[in-house]
Amino acid sequence: MVTVVYRHGCPYCGERVTSEELLSEGACTRCVAAQASVKTFMRAFEEEVNELETFFKNVTGFEPWSLQRAWIRRLVAGESFAMVAPTGVGKSTLLAVYVLYRAINYKWKIYVVAPTKEIAAQLWRRIEEYYDRAKKFSDSEIRVLLYVSGVRNAKKVKERIASGDFDILITSAGFLSKNYELLRKWRFNLVVADDLDALLRNSRNIDRILQLLGFDDEEIKLAYEIAKAKQELVVARLAGREHKAQELEVFIEEAKAKLKILLLERHCQLVVASATGRSRGLKSKVLRELLGFEGGAVFEYWRRIIDTYVYMDEPWLEQVVEIVKRLKSGLVFVAQGMSPKVVAEYLKRHGIRVEVVKSGRKSLDRFRNGEVDVLIGSASYYGILVRGIDEPLRVKFTIFIGVPRSGVKLENALNSVRFMYVLLEELSRRGVECKEYLEFIVNILKRASIGYINVLNKLLAKGCVECDDKTAEILDKLLEIKKWLYNTVKVMLGIEGKIVLPTAVVMKRGRDVYVYRPDPYTYIQASGRASRLLNGRKTLGLSLIVADDYDLLSMLERRLKSFVPELKFVHITAIDLEKVVEQVQRSRILVAGSSKQYDRIVTALMIVESPTKARTIASMFGKSAKRYVGEVPVYEAVIPLHNDEVVIINIAASLGHLTDLVTDEGFHGVDVSGGRYMPIYDFIIRCRSCGRQTVGLYERCPYCNSSNIVSSKHVVNALRKLAHEVDRIYIATDPDNEGEKIAFDLYMLLKPYNSNVVRVEFHEITRRAILEALRNPRKLDIGRIRAQIVRRVDDRWVGFEISTWLQLKLGKKWLGAGRVQSPVLLWVVDRYEEYLRKRGFWVVLDAEGMKLRLFIFERDEAEKIAEKARREGIYVLEAKEYVKEVQPPPPFSTDDMIIEAGRKLRYTAVLTMKLAQQLFESGFITYHRTDCNRVSNIGIEIARQYLERLGMNNLFVPRTWSQGHVGAHEAIRPTAPVDAEELKRKLLRGELGLLTNISELHVRLYDLIFRRFVASQMAASLVKFVHARFGVGNYETVVDEATEIVKEGFTVVYPPRLVPALRMVLNRDRLKVNEVIIKRGAAIRLLTSAEVVRLMKTKGIGRPSTYSKAIENNVRHGYIVLSKKRKALIPTKLGIEISTVIRNNFLELVGEEATRKLEKLVDMVERGELNLAEALDNIKHMVAQHIKFAELGAVAQENVVKVNQEE
């Protein structure tokens, strides 16, 4: 292992600690010696966690399982949060235990809010059951009070609530809305809400909950102002009002600081138990400001359901009867707009005891007691049966009459800009003229952020009261489009009856027009009633959808598959019903000695580098929940890792490197005493105001004195808290040396908090790649870590020493130099000087529509040639035509991509890498820092699918492009068979589930990557070329260009530049010149970013991760500027001066050859052929020697100047 120092890395005292100490003792030697005092808090916390776990076991009879243990730690820490997990995994059990624990041991006053009175009654029964058991080991008396409307004692219960005669109060959310005055005088330590949505349905309930928890009006108002200001900030940025945006940023920062002070003494807790809580709107954002969490949604991954269907035009009633008679008891859900009476009557005629549930507990009680076999209710997310019943022994099947759906009137659906686009796209496809409207909507969706689109949606629904002129103008146009769409669709439905969109169906219902979308949330929640935890095992259930609409069923399956790929609907006749019945029954019988399935659910933390990547990964496994630990956003998802293992995962970002070498200790951050080399690291401070970065712990930016800073120390603290909650940690930083060093730091800094830390690596952000990585964790790659340390130390030593020398000698504090950036500067200056030496004139000839160029050094000569060309034309000295088989180019490596993007798109290297980074993090392309052209089998399959879809199977020629490359590294390619046009449509429709702003710049680069990749998997093309030699006077020019595709191959998707006009020179001896222009120019061009990258690759200088940085650093130092049109690299006066100094003094240190040697040295360290100390010793002596030579040279130069002055 590598030994380094973390100057503030000790988890206890926050002071100096080595990586060895962290691995062996988990703390610095001082804290290990004073173990008793430094670990007092941790010991107290662990004791309380153990106390609650023991209490849990005593009242339930079993140990809390992994996820429950993770929640217990958060509960004991006093954290407010939403429990993110599938239904039926023990959330309600834990909350019932926790409520009792706090009431008995801490005398807390607690309020439990359920979405319905039926669920409230279930919670009350469970708490009472556990309380009876708790009495055996506790003498504390507590008062548990349930309010249910419509029962005989309801009035008396209200009187008890008014007098405060309770310790635990349990009601429905409806009671909170209607009877808040009874509650408002009481202050609760803990509020438990079974579902966040149930609270948010009444807009004032958030205020009420916060007031019950003790927040005063000033605190709530300030939180609202912060949340509203954040929304306004989105709008201001989009509208380009920078001054307003800056004002809002200052207000938010100051308001958050004020709120933080107000909340210092606030001790209260809100816990939400929700499987699919979907919080929306401004009020839900207030929870984040005051309590630090946002509601979210998670899909039911841990489900044992056999999903079947039958169509309504088949004998479906007979199928329903057979299922009911075989499985005995279950639930029937009726879709929106359909009546349950037909089904109920039919089942009754066949002797089945059935009851339609509308409200109340009596039906549920009769079902539990076996008096009723089938309950029928509505298939709505908040239906009583969908959420209000947990009977694993009784609910063996769920039957849906009609596809579960949500329906809204067309006029309300058109209050969505994205839905307008979907409708316009479909109408355009059908030939309806709507180009102007479609372009208007597309422009909004392309340039608008998610926040601004939501603002427009609200304005469409409610109107514009205080809009600025620009927004009002946009809204007027949107309202015009909305009216036109409504009328057009209504007319079309009169002819066709139904319009099928990609994700919805539009149809008439009575006089109204409705938009129906499949409701996967309701289906998952309702069908999950048949698959519950029973004695630690998940029961098996059967689900049947009686489909009344083929399109809605297909859409439902697609929506579900995007979250649960293994889910598949099969026709009821395709299953062996007798066998299924046996399996369903057997799953409800506890087998002695069988393991409990919830032991296979584990909790984990995944750490990536960027929040975008964290969000993208989470979105691939359902609609993730989101919470904040400090200022760090954490996305929570459920990942089915194996058939028998599910991971409840928290995904957070490190924000890149967490530590860097210090600047004020050792030899530029390395302790070199005693003949050893010990790098010293500290946390990184990034200033949001001035953009500067420094190393150390600061309250304010040392450059601009701003307090608006972010410290990686805060990120580490948040990750340490998360590490303490989970069973295992996956470090998923980028698959390169920099990512490996970040992984090393994370490993060291988190290891004391969780010993189960592993490294995972993926080269594309796809569901398949993530699962593959999680299933195949590895150890840290020590070779890569050592190589990164060598490169970083070399950068620091060489950069600091030369930079310091330059700053002292030239008197400019911002000057700098480095191993890779300095050779680039020398190339740019050399080319610039050569460019100046070879200046002359270009004679540009328009020869019958074809452009030809001749370079001439002298102006007079250029004028003569121009005149001769005008008079005589241009002679065709040679012309021949030939056909050549052209093979496709390989897919991109990093340098190829930068070069081609520069050539075809005029993108700089910096811009290309920035866009590629964002495309990678959004899951659209594979890892963009690679020197490999290899294509995996998965990549080949993507190309095959795409070409097959286009009917070009005959052109598919699979190639791996291995060329000796082995391992996981792969070329840059798309992650799905989706071309740029389809990607744009999916983004506009909002189908990708990503909160991302992909611009036209991104799409153009994606298009280039996609086409190049697909071309690499296609047949060669036959291309016709013309080779011609032209002359004017004594000057000649040669042209060799493609003129025609003879036989298509890869050129279908990646066409070459064709010059068909060149064919006219065949059988000609002279061309007439229409126009002649003389331009100042040079025989060679200035270097571009792409050409510099090509040189770096060819000469073995730098790596894919440093190509663009080498250019960027020279621009940042003021050594190079980019021309506006060609983006050519032009050295500044300062750049030329610095290059001269480097050439005269440091060429042996940062020259081309020296840098190439350093790359080889780093490679040797990575391969284990040279140890770290030897490499650093080599570099240190080389740096010291050349700095000394430079000093001697400078002194000698000064002496010469003095002598000259004296003479």
Give the pLDDT score at 1207.
43
Cα 874 from Cα 1016, distance rounded (Å): 40
Give the residue with greater pLDDT, 911 vs 252: 911
**Unique residue bearing structure tokens 């191993």:** 819
Asked whether 598 and 533 are in contact (CB, 8 A), the reply is yes
Q: 67: pLDDT confidence band, cut at 50, 70 and 90?
A: confident
Closest CA to 120 of 361, 385, 379: 361
Residue 1120 pLDDT exceeds 80: yes
CA 974 to chain CA centroid, Å, is: 16
φ/ψ of 731, rounded to 5, equals -95, 110
For 86, how many CA atoms within 13 A lie in the half-sphere containing its CB? 28
Q: Which residues contact 566 (CB under 8 A, 6 or more apart)?
A: 640
**Unique residue bearing structure tokens 């294509």:** 935
Cα 654 from Cα 686, distance rounded (Å): 13
All domains of the chain, ordered by start, with CATH? 49-215+266-278 (3.40.50.300), 305-404+519-586 (3.40.50.300), 408-515 (no CATH), 597-780 (3.40.50.140), 790-837+1086-1201 (1.10.460.10), 839-887+1023-1082 (2.60.510.20), 894-1019 (1.10.290.10)
Q: 690: pLDDT confidence band, cut at 50, 70 and 90?
A: confident
Number of residues that make up the chain: 1207
Residue 386 pLDDT exceeds 60: yes
Asked whether 318 and 349 are in contact (CB, 8 A), the reply is no
Q: 46: pLDDT confidence band, cut at 50, 70 and 90?
A: confident
For 171, how many CA atoms within 13 A lie in the half-sphere containing its CB? 23
φ/ψ of 1069, rounded to 5, equals -110, -10
Helical H runs in 1067-1146?
1089-1099, 1107-1116, 1133-1145
**Unique residue bearing structure tokens 């429950």:** 68
Residue 1203 pLDDT exceeds 50: no
Angle made by CA atoms 482, 487, 490, in degrees to the nearest 5: 120
Give the residue with greater pLDDT, 814 vs 295: 814
Grouping H, G, I as helix, E, B as strand and the rest as coil, residue 50 is: helix
Helices then strands (H, E): number in the chain?
A: 45, 42
Q: Which residues contact 1096 (CB under 8 A, 6 or more apart)?
A: 820, 824, 895, 1102, 1107, 1110
Angle made by CA atoms 827, 832, 835, in degrees to the nearest 5: 125
Q: Buried (b) or exposed (e) across 851-865, using 16+ Cβ within 10 A?
A: ebebbbeeeebbeeb
Residue 881 pLDDT exceeds 80: yes
Neighbours of 781 (CB within 10 A): 18
Residue 591 pLDDT exceeds 60: no
Give the pLDDT score at 294.
60
Bridge partner list, 1018: 956
**Unique residue bearing structure tokens 């206890």:** 12
Q: Which class for 300: exposed (0-12), middle (13-18), buried (19 or more C-beta within 10 A)?
A: buried
Neighbours of 980 (CB within 10 A): 18
Residue 1206 pLDDT exceeds 80: no
Tokens standing for residue 24: 């062996």
Closest CA to 189 of 298, 309, 102: 102
Residue 91 pLDDT exceeds 80: yes
Q: 818: pLDDT confidence band, cut at 50, 70 and 90?
A: confident
Q: Which residues contact 708 (CB under 8 A, 6 or more apart)?
A: 253, 687, 688, 689, 701
Torsion, CA 1094, CA 1096, CA 1098, CA 1099, rounded to 10: 150
Cα 734 from Cα 610, distance rounded (Å): 10
Closest CA to 602 of 633, 640, 648, 635: 648
Give the pLDDT score at 823.
92
Closest CA to 743 of 846, 580, 608, 610: 608
Closest CA to 177 of 143, 144, 200: 200
φ/ψ of 1137, rounded to 5, equals -65, -45
CA 311 to chain CA centroid, Å, is: 39
Q: 1196: pLDDT confidence band, cut at 50, 70 and 90?
A: very low
Bridge partner list, 608: 653
Cα 975 from Cα 495, distance rounded (Å): 41
pLDDT (tens digit per residue) in 254-264: 888 788 787 77
Q: Buried (b) or exposed (e) across 1041-1076, using 16+ Cβ within 10 A?
A: bbbbbeebbbbbbbeeeebeebbbbeeeeebebeeb
Q: Which class for 416: exposed (0-12), middle (13-18), buried (19 or more C-beta within 10 A)?
A: buried
Asked whether 790 and 1179 are in contact (CB, 8 A), the reply is yes
Q: Which of 927, 1006, 1054, 1119 is catalytic?
A: 927
Residue 218 pLDDT exceeds 90: no
Give the pLDDT score at 1202.
46
Residue 267 pLDDT exceeds 90: no
What are the angstrom distances between the C-alpha of 493 and each of 337, 423, 506, 600, 1002? 19, 13, 8, 51, 38
Tokens standing for residue 903: 């050539």
pLDDT (tens digit per residue) in 512-562: 999 999 999 899 889 989 988 777 677 899 999 999 999 999 999 988 886
Q: 984: pLDDT confidence band, cut at 50, 70 and 90?
A: confident
Q: Buried (b) or exposed (e) across 321-359, using 16+ Cβ within 10 A?
A: bebbebbbbbbbbbbbeeebeebbeebeeeebebbbbee
Query: 141-145, 765-769, 1001-1005 — which is least confidently predicted?
Result: 765-769
Asked whether 893 and 969 are in contact (CB, 8 A), the reply is no
DSSP string, 877-922: EEEEEEEEEEPPPPPB-HHHHHHHIIIII---HHHHHHHHHHHHHT
pLDDT (tens digit per residue) in 1006-1019: 999 999 999 999 99
Give the pLDDT score at 1199.
46
pLDDT (tens digit per residue) in 701-715: 888 888 778 899 999
Asked whether 336 and 552 are in contact (CB, 8 A), the reply is no
Cα 406 from Cα 521, distance rounded (Å): 10
Ramachandran quadrant class, 151 (left: phi over 0; alpha: psi -120 to 50; beta: rest): beta
Global pTM exceeds 0.85 = no
Asked whether 597 and 532 are in contact (CB, 8 A), the reply is no
Cα 818 from Cα 210, distance rounded (Å): 56
Give the residue with greater pLDDT, 717 vs 174: 717
Give the residue with greater pLDDT, 301 vs 847: 847
For 723, how many CA atoms within 13 A lie in the half-sphere containing its CB? 24
Percent of the chain with pLDDT over 90: 55
Q: Buried (b) or exposed (e) across 874-890, using 16+ Cβ within 10 A?
A: bbbeebeeeeeebebeb
Task: Indicate the pairing of strand 293-294 with strand 625-629.
Answer: antiparallel
Return mean pLDDT, the chain. 87
Residue 592 pLDDT exceeds 50: no
Q: Which class for 976: exposed (0-12), middle (13-18), buried (19 or more C-beta within 10 A)?
A: middle
pLDDT (tens digit per residue) in 733-762: 999 999 999 999 999 999 999 999 999 999
Q: Quick check: is 550 catalytic? A: no
